[in-house]
Amino acid sequence: MNDLTGKVALVTGASRGIGRAIALELGQRGCDVVINYHSNIASAQETAAQIAAPSRTLVHQADVSIAQEASGLVEAALAAFGRVDILVNNAGITLDGLSMRMPEEDWDQVLATNLKSAFNCAKAVQRSMLRQRWGRIISIGSVAGLMGNAGQANYSAAKAGLVGLTKALARELAPRGITVNLVAPGFIATDMTASLGEEILAKVQALIPLQRLGKPDEVARLVGYLASDAAAYITGQVIALDGGMSM
């Protein structure tokens, strides 16, 4: 039930961090994996190199915040593998600052990269999933979208937007055998959190009941489960993976 042999997965932002861990997990479960990245080609190729045969890989550059590039990414996946069974909307950025001083471009860029990108990719993969009456759309949100976070008005709004997008898509697509879910991590040890600095991370750790940051492969294992047939009856859900932080 956990085996995904023969399925095709597309992971956005799979060049590093959580996206890379998800690509490796899905590869290990037998998927062919499309590895999307924005600017870091060497790192994306390193993700591909870590996925063992017989799983096949395709590395594809696209800025998924732009609709045309997102649909180009899906077209490349379809050309290479004939279908997309699993979409993981993972690409994301932060541009933090207090709302009073937040430049309009920082609001727009964070909303486009974290929220509009998920709509762009979900729209582009649907035809393939509808045809086969099976699909999984899994997005990576954040506890910031559930609790809010000072200095992250743009990011919190984008991640909260993913909650509504997930539920609307889940209702639209359930009759066709496609499930749509949102994983909302707390603080996970990646480049994104490393940029916060040690002092802030020590304060954050004190707020986490399990008293540590999460690991990218802990997020990946949940995504792997949600992609599998074992999770066939789970849709429209927001699952926090945060060491108890948001309870």
Side-chain half-sphere CA neighbours of 157 within 13 A:
16
Q: Pick from 16, 29, 60, 136: which binds ligand NAP (CB under 6 A)?
A: 16
195: its two tokens: 């940029």
- CA pair distance 86, 226, nearest whole angstrom: 10
Does residue number 40 form part of the binding site for ligand NAP (CB under 6 A)? yes
Q: Pick from 81, 107, 119, 187: which binds ligand NAP (CB under 6 A)?
A: 187
Nearer to ligand NAP, 176 or 215 (CB): 215
Q: Pick from 33, 48, 59, 93: which binds ligand NAP (CB under 6 A)?
A: 93
Q: Which residues, including other chains, have CB under 8 Å from residue 136's CB and lie 6 or more apart?
A: 85, 86, 87, 178, 179, 180, 226, 227
Nearer to ligand NAP, 8 or 223 (CB): 223
Q: Which residue has the tokens 């990011």?
A: 155
162: its two tokens: 């993913």
- CA pair distance 85, 178, nearest whole angstrom: 9
Q: Pick from 31, 188, 220, 245: which binds ligand NAP (CB under 6 A)?
A: 188
Contacting range for ligand NAP; rule: CB under 6 A; set: 99-107, 167-175, 183-191, 224-232: 183-191
Does residue number 113 form part of the binding site for ligand NAP (CB under 6 A)? yes
Nearer to ligand NAP, 50 or 132 (CB): 50
Nearer to ligand NAP, 192 or 234 (CB): 192
Distances (CA, A) of 48 to 2, 55, 137, 161, 203: 22, 10, 21, 31, 35
Q: Which residues, including other chains, have CB under 8 Å from residue 127's CB and lie 6 or more apart?
A: none
146: its two tokens: 């559930």
Q: How far is the CB of 209 from ligand NAP (least distance, A)?
A: 16
Q: How far is the CB of 95 from ligand NAP (least distance, A)?
A: 11
Q: Pick from 65, 120, 156, 179: which binds ligand NAP (CB under 6 A)?
A: 65
CA angle 193, 199, 201 (to 5 degrees): 35
Residues with a known catalytic role: 155
What residues line the site for ligand NAP (CB under 6 A)?
12-13, 15-19, 36-40, 43, 63-65, 90-93, 113-114, 140, 142, 185, 187-188, 190-193
